[in-house]
């Protein structure tokens, strides 16, 4: 099994990551990326520990692999995936949205239905199976970039000014293809091993040059990753920014300057219909988003724990109004927890031997995520009030004897000394008010697409035929007579 040390050593591959106009080649040593790289390494160490029960024998290879790489062929396999996804999410308290289990779930779906990759002009099904088996044996951290740059939402890539703004194929060779352009938004990409590049946005027949799926090493020649501003370097200490200093998974725009991709790493080639097949005809989309809801449930539990702790420290946890707020937060969290379990309970064989979580439960919870998360934060904000503002500027104020006496006297609670109270409220601020918190607010609202798109998934997968038939039957049971 791959360890954290193995993973960190692999990051020293000369990749080109751009921050503030500077090209960074050793992310494991850079303050913007070392914290999240360390966290990902801890996930690999956790999985490699036999006591955690996070490994299984892969039927395809006979090798021991992380359970995240096992195609679910039974309800028990789904439970094994959930166990591993929950264990990783609990290690990060749900604050790492693109841990390695996310894209792994998609690739499991791909490999369960290789025929979806054989229907175009090129049969690429063998590539999909080979890549899945490599994931089982090597356990790489794969991120993905599956959205075009936001040049225009009214048109698709073929109509944009300039050649190859969205990544597309510029040359076909006997040994592979050459791609040029950009794609977004590779969350965790700077510290991943490889990136799955594709397009989930619907394209037209005129966009065939951009209808691609391929896997590329982050260190590929000609590939650059332009990062949004990393927050970790501004974290003055883990006491002041306990989440930022550990879990800032930088998002990045990928720019391809004539990057060569060998044929064996190409999964979809100039096949507009194939882009949709890979996500929705294979079960990959529901598997990947079930993982996302597992992680989201753990994050909401952590936020609920923060709210309950704040109420107790402030001595208001028995006030009816506070109990009402905590009860609402408990209800919101329970919705996602229950959906995760309901999806597993209603799982079924899709007819090919692949077991998929119940789509009604997965997409129902996902459809509410853009409302659930902001509401959970609003409740937490309401409970902490000005407490997150009445904190020292930094941990140095706690260490200086000349200022510590004032803090101990004036920033304390009957149930918590100043050091513990400040520590708690610093954590809450990092969850609701810091730049890291703002990014997470935006991420949870839009990670799966615009809210109308996500609610469309919920609508299409709910199954309205039964309720409509019941209404029609009832209407038919009486009349004007």
**Would the pLDDT of 159 be above 70?**
no
| Per-residue pLDDT reduced to its tens digit, 382-425 | 999 998 998 998 999 989 999 999 988 888 888 889 899 999 99
pLDDT given at position 410: 87
In whole angstroms, give the CA distance from residue 272 to residue 274.
5
216: three-class secondary structure by DSSP:
strand
Confidence class for position 120, pLDDT limits 50, 70, 90: confident
Give the span between the Cα atoms of 379 and 258, in whole angstroms. 49
Residue 42, SS3 per DSSP: helix
Question: CA 305, CA 307: separation in Å to the nearest integer?
Answer: 5
Which H or E run includes 226? strand 223-227
Nearest partner of 419 among 427, 428, 431, 407, judged by Cα = 407
Q: State pLDDT tens for residues 29-67.
A: 999 999 999 999 999 999 999 999 999 999 988 889 999
The rounded mean pLDDT for the chain is 95
Q: Per-residue pLDDT averaged across 14-40, rounded?
A: 96
Q: Lowest-confidence range among 156-170, 221-235, 302-316, 462-476?
A: 156-170
Q: Where does the pLDDT of residue 153 fall: very low under 50, low under 70, confident under 90, or very high at 90 and above?
A: low
Amino acid 426: pLDDT: 96
| Window from 170-184, 189-203, 412-426 with minimum mean pLDDT | 412-426
Rounded to whole angstroms, the Cα distance separating 77 from 297 reads: 20
At 191, list the tokens: 């510290």
List the beta strands (DSSP E) in 229-381: 252-262, 266-269, 348-349, 355-356
- Model confidence at 445: pLDDT above 70: yes
Cβ proximity of 218 and 13 under 8 Å: yes
pLDDT band at 103 (very low <50, low <70, confident <90, very high): very high
* Distance from the Cα of residue 437 to its chain's centroid: 15
Asked if the model's pLDDT at residue 427 lies above 70, the reply is yes
What token pair was written down for 408? 């101990």
Q: Is the pLDDT reported for residue 158 higher than 80?
A: no
At residue 238, φ and ψ (nearest 5 deg) are -70, -25
Cis omega before residue 185 (within 30°)?
yes
Residues pairing with 314 in the sheet: none
Structure confidence at residue 129 (pLDDT): 98
- pLDDT for 154: 62
- Under 8 Å CB-to-CB from 472, ≥6 apart: which residues? none
* pLDDT, tens digit (0-9, with 9 covering 90-100), for 289-326: 999 999 999 999 999 999 999 999 999 999 999 999 99
pLDDT of residue 412: 83
Question: What pLDDT score was predicted for residue 124?
Answer: 98
For residues 131 and 265, the answer to whether their CB atoms sit within 8 Å is yes
Which residue in 113, 449, 126 sits closest to 281, CA to CA? 113
* 176-183 and 252-262 strand pairing: antiparallel
pLDDT higher than threshold 70 for residue 125: yes
* Per-residue pLDDT, 97: 95
The whole model's pTM is what? Answer: 0.95
Sheet with 194-197, edge to edge strand ranges: 142-145, 194-197, 212-217, 266-269
pLDDT at 414: 84
All residues at 6 or more sequence positions from 291 whose CB lies less than 8 Å from its CB, including other chains: 81, 85, 101, 102, 105
Q: pLDDT at residue 245 above 70? A: yes
């Amino acid at each position: 099994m791959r360890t954290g040390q193995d993973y960190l050593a692999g990051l020293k591959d000369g990749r080109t990551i751009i921050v503030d106009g500077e090209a960074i080649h050793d992310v494991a040593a850079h303050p913007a990326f070392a914290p999240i790289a360390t966290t990902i390494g801890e996930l690999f160490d956790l999985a490699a520990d036999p006591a955690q029960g996070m490994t299984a024998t892969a039927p395809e290879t006979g090798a021991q692999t992380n359970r995240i790489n096992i195609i679910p062929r039974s309800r028990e396999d789904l439970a094994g995936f959930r166990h591993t996804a929950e264990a990783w999410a609990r290690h990060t308290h749900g604050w790492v949205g693109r841990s390695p289990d996310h894209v792994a779930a998609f690739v499991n779906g791909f490999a369960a239905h290789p025929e979806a990759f054989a229907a175009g002009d090129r049969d690429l099904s063998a590539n999909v199976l080979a890549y899945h088996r490599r994931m089982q044996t090597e356990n790489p951290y794969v991120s993905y970039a599956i959205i075009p740059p936001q040049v225009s939402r009214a048109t698709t890539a073929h109509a944009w000014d300039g050649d190859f703004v969205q990544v597309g194929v510029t040359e076909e060779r006997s040994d592979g293809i050459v791609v040029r352009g950009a794609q977004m938004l590779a969350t965790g990409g700077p510290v991943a091993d490889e990136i799955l590049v594709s397009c989930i946005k619907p394209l037209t027949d005129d966009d065939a040059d951009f209808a691609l799926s391929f896997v590329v090493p982050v260190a590929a020649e000609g590939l650059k990753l332009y990062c949004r501003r990393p927050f970790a370097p501004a974290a003055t200490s883990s006491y002041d920014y306990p989440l930022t200093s550990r879990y800032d998974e930088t998002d990045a725009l990928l720019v391809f300057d004539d990057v060569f991709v060998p044929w064996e790493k190409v999964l979809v080639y100039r096949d507009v219909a194939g882009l949709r097949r890979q996500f929705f005809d294979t079960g990959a989309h529901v598997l990947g988003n079930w993982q996302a809801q597992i992680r989201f449930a753990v994050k909401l539990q952590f936020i609920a724990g923060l709210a309950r702790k704040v109420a107790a420290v402030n001595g208001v946890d028995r006030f009816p109004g506070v109990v009402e707020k905590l009860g609402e937060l408990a209800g919101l969290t329970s919705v996602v927890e229950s959906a995760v379990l309901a999806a597993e309970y209603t799982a079924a064989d899709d007819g090919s031997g692949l077991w998929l979580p119940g789509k009604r439960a997965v997409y129902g919870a996902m459809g509410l995520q853009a409302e659930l998360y902001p509401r959970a934060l609003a409740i937490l904000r309401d409970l902490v009030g000005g407490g997150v503002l009445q904190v020292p500027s930094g941990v140095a104020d706690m260490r200086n004897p000349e200022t510590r006496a004032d803090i101990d006297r004036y920033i304390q609670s009957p149930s918590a000394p100043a050091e513990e109270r400040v520590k708690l409220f610093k954590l809450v601020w990092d969850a609701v008010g810091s730049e890291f918190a703002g990014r997470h607010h935006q991420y949870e609202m839009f990670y799966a697409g615009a809210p109308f798109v996500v609610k469309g998934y919920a609508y299409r997968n709910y199954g309205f035929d039964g309720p409509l038939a019941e209404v029609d039957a009832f209407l038919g049971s009486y009349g004007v007579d």
